[in-house]
Amino acid sequence: MKLLMKVIFFGLPALVLAGTILTFNAGQYFKRPHGTADDVAAHLADASGLALAGQWEEARSAREELEQAWQRVRRRIVLTSDLDELLSFDELMAEFQGALDAEDKTQVHIATRKMQAIWDEFGR
């Protein structure tokens, strides 16, 4: 009984602290794709590559998949991320869509670079 109490007294706080530190540092893990459907970096590269090759229709459909992948990952990383960064990524998704609608390669370049930069920062 005394041993159990000791384990609870010291073990529980240690568990709380360890759990918190692990959770707050798990951004990289949560960001990692668990399949092809949530691979944001790959979808971004696809959509951007298609747009720069002038295949606008395919690029728009790739952007849809990118959007779905991002929404999946967003839910996972929201606990460990800065909300402003998440909102910036949301805005850049819209900017990217605008660039595709306007079929403007320069804007596609800019949006892609910005998105890649923010994406790399998630989970750090």
Residue closer to another protein by CB (options 11, 54) is 11
Closest contact distance (angstroms) between CB of 42 and another protein is 24
Closest contact distance (angstroms) between CB of 109 and another protein is 28
Tell me which residues touch another protein (CB under 8 A). 13, 16-17, 19-21, 23-25, 27, 75, 78-84
Q: How far apart are the first and last CA of the chain?
A: 43
Axis crossing angle, helix 83-101 with helix 105-121, rounded to the nearest 10: 160
With a CB cutoff of 8 Å and minimum separation 6, the contacts of 89 are: 70, 74, 115, 118, 119
Residue closer to another protein by CB (options 17, 52) is 17
Residue closer to another protein by CB (options 21, 52) is 21
With a CB cutoff of 8 Å and minimum separation 6, the contacts of 6 are: none
Closest contact distance (angstroms) between CB of 124 and another protein is 8
